[in-house]
C-alpha cells in the first residue's frame, strides 16, 4: 500500500469579491493599483493559511491575469503589441470550455530570459512552494507561434527559459513545479492528442534539480500516463472524476485530483476519503500519492475554493 505524500493545489484560484471590486475600480480609474494589490495579498494569505499542512503550498497565483501573461510580458521573444494597456499581449481567447479567457501571446523571436522574471510575479514563501505553470504541450498549443519551425523547438526553449529561473525560485521558497497540461485532455476529447518524443526531452530540461509534476485535468489519464511514465517527472497528476479507476496503472507517484474544481458542492472529508478508497481499491494502485483538486479552483468563488482547500487540509490531518 502506498504512502500519502500530502496535498497541493493544481492551478490558479479565484479572487474574492472585494478584490474583484478593487480590480474593477483600478481599471476604471477610481482606485489605485496598490489598493487592488493589497486586496490580492489578503486573498493570498487566506489561501496560504489553509495550506499549512500541505506538501507544497501556493497562493494560487491569483494575481496572474492568466497563466501565460507574466511569461509573455517578462520573457523575451513575445510580441508586446503595438499599444499600451491590456491589449498589448494578444487577442482575448477562450480558456477551454469555460467562461474565462486569456490573452493569446504571439512568439516573434526566440524565447529567453535572464532568470529572475518569474519571482517578480510570485510571493516569497518560507519553503515548499509550488509554481503552477503550463506544461510544454499546452504552452505550445496556447501561443501563436510566428517564429519556431516546429513545436519541439518552441517547447524546448520554453523549458530552458523557465529552468533559468530555478536559482531565484529556490531562494524564493519554491522547490516544486507543477506543469499543467489542460490541452492534453481537451485534445483527447476531440480524439486528436499526440504526445511526441520531444515532450520527454522538454520534461528532462524542466527537471534539473527541481521536483516536477505533470497534471492532466479533465481527461482520462490512463492512456496518457503510459507515455508520461517514461519522463523523468517525479509524479503525474490525474483527474479522478474523468479517469475511471478500473484499468488505471502507474509506476510513478501520482497526484490524485479528488476534489471537484468545477462544482459548487463542497465535498466532506468522509465522502472524499470514501471516493479515494474506491479509486485506490478499484485501480489497484499501490504507489505513493498526493491529493489535490481535479483542476484549478478558478471556477468556484473564493469562499468555495477556500472551503475545498480546507477539506484537503482536514484530510491531510486525518491521513497523517
Quick note: the x/- pattern for other proteins over 227-266, rule CB under 8 A, is --------------x---------------------xxx-
Nearest to 20 by CA among 298, 215, 250: 298
Bridge partner residues of 106 (DSSP): 144
191 lies in the site for other proteins, by CB under 8 A? no
Piece in contact with other proteins (CB under 8 A), picked from 8-16, 43-51, 148-156, 251-259: 8-16
Nearer of residues 86 and 150 to other proteins, judged by Cβ: 86
Minimum CB separation from other proteins for residue 236, in Å?
23
Piece in contact with other proteins (CB under 8 A), picked from 40-48, 76-84, 192-200, 220-228: 76-84
Minimum CB separation from other proteins for residue 81, in Å?
9
Contacts of 85 (CB under 8 A, 6+ apart): none
Q: Pick the binder of other proteins from 37, 46, 53, 65 (CB under 8 A).
A: 65
Minimum CB separation from other proteins for residue 26, in Å?
7
Nearer of residues 190 and 317 to other proteins, judged by Cβ: 190
Nearer of residues 17 and 114 to other proteins, judged by Cβ: 17
Minimum CB separation from other proteins for residue 92, in Å?
5
Residue 143 has what DSSP assignment? S
Nearer of residues 30 and 232 to other proteins, judged by Cβ: 30
Binding to other proteins (CB under 8 A) within 282-311 occurs at: 298-304
Minimum CB separation from other proteins for residue 270, in Å?
19
Residue 46, exposed/middle/buried by CB under 10 A (0-12, 13-18, 19+)? middle
Binding to other proteins (CB under 8 A) within 18-57 occurs at: 20, 23-24, 26-30
Nearer of residues 287 and 307 to other proteins, judged by Cβ: 307
Cell readout for 269 is: 472529508
Residue 44, exposed/middle/buried by CB under 10 A (0-12, 13-18, 19+)? buried
How many residues interact with other proteins (rule CB under 8 A)?
Answer: 40
Minimum CB separation from other proteins for residue 201, in Å?
31
Binding to other proteins (CB under 8 A) within 81-120 occurs at: 82-87, 91-94, 97-102
Site residues (CB under 8 A) for other proteins?
14-17, 20, 23-24, 26-30, 65, 82-87, 91-94, 97-102, 241, 263-265, 298-304
Amino acid at each position: 500500500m502506498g504512502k500519502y505524500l500530502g496535498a497541493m493545489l493544481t492551478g490558479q484560484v479565484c479572487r474574492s469579491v472585494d478584490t474583484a471590486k478593487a480590480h474593477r475600480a483600478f481599471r476604471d480609474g477610481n482606485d489605485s493599483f496598490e489598493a487592488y494589490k493589497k486586496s490580492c495579498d489578503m486573498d493570498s494569505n487566506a489561501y496560504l493559511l489553509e495550506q499549512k499542512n500541505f506538501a507544497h503550498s501556493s497562493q494560487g497565483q491569483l494575481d496572474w491575469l492568466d497563466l501565460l501573461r507574466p511569461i509573455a510580458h517578462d520573457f523575451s521573444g513575445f510580441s508586446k503589441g503595438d499599444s499600451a494597456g491590456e491589449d498589448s499581449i494578444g487577442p482575448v481567447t477562450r480558456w477551454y470550455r469555460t467562461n474565462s479567457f486569456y490573452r493569446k501571446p504571439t512568439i516573434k523571436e526566440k524565447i529567453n530570459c535572464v532568470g529572475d522574471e518569474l519571482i517578480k510575479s510570485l510571493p516569497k514563501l518560507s519553503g515548499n512552494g509550488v509554481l503552477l505553470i503550463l506544461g510544454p504541450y499546452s504552452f505550445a498549443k496556447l501561443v501563436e507561434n510566428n517564429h519556431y519551425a516546429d513545436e519541439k523547438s518552441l517547447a524546448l526553449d520554453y523549458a530552458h527559459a523557465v529552468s533559468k529561473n530555478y536559482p531565484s525560485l529556490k531562494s524564493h521558497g519554491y522547490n516544486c513545479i507543477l506543469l499543467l497540461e489542460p490541452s492534453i485532455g481537451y485534445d483527447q476529447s476531440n480524439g486528436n492528442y499526440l504526445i511526441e518524443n520531444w515532450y520527454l526531452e522538454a520534461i528532462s530540461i524542466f527537471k534539473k534539480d527541481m521536483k516536477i509534476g505533470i497534471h492532466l485535468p479533465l481527461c482520462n489519464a490512463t492512456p496518457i500516463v503510459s507515455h508520461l511514465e517514461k519522463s523523468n517527472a517525479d509524479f503525474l497528476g490525474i483527474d479522478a472524476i474523468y479517469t475511471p479507476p478500473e484499468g488505471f496503472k502507474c509506476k510513478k507517484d501520482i497526484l490524485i485530483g479528488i476534489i471537484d474544481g468545477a462544482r459548487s458542492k463542497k465535498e466532506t472529508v468522509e465522502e472524499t476519503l470514501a471516493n479515494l478508497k474506491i479509486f485506490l481499491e478499484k485501480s489497484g494502485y499501490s504507489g505513493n500519492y498526493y491529493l489535490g483538486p481535479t483542476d484549478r479552483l478558478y471556477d468556484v468563488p473564493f469562499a468555495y475554493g477556500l472551503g475545498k482547500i480546507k477539506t484537503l487540509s482536514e484530510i491531510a490531518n486525518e491521513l497523517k
